[in-house]
Amino acid sequence: MTGMSGLTRGILSLTIRIGLPISIIIVAIFVPSFDKIMALLGSLAGFMICIILPCLFHLTLFKGQLSTKQQALDWTLVVVASIISITGTVFAFLPKSLLGIRE
């Protein structure tokens, strides 16, 4: 957003703030399995934003300064969080009957 005038930034910001909730509402109305989409976003984005990316950024930013233990811990967290994220994503799309849940 560098190089934009204040008015352009304000209009863009307002458009994003109004457009995002409206688009989510439209998707919720027209997509019958909206709960699956939210579960997908929760499992993927949640682990990605909270665990995986910070660990990878830490490894990248402090590459030569981290001890072997710190690197091992970061990589362990990345692998475990990735496995849990993939598992959550798979279970979000399995039919409820396979999970033993009655509808």
CB 59 within 8 A of CB 74: yes
Residue 63: CB atoms within 10 A of its CB come to 9
**Whole-model pTM over 0.95:** no
Two tokens, residue 14: 């307002």
Backbone CA torsion sign across 57, 82, 43, 30: positive
Same domain assignment for residues 22 and 45: no
Q: What are phi and psi of 66, to 5 degrees?
A: -85, 140
Domain span including residue 2: 1-30
Same domain assignment for residues 39 and 26: no
Count of structural domains, the chain: 2
Residues 37-94 have pLDDT tens digits of 777 777 778 888 889 999 999 999 998 899 999 999 999 999 999 999 888 888 777 7
Same domain assignment for residues 69 and 82: yes
Same domain assignment for residues 49 and 11: no
Same domain assignment for residues 19 and 49: no
Residue 29: CB atoms within 10 A of its CB come to 9
Q: Count H helices and E strands in the chain, helices first.
A: 4, 0
Same domain assignment for residues 58 and 16: no
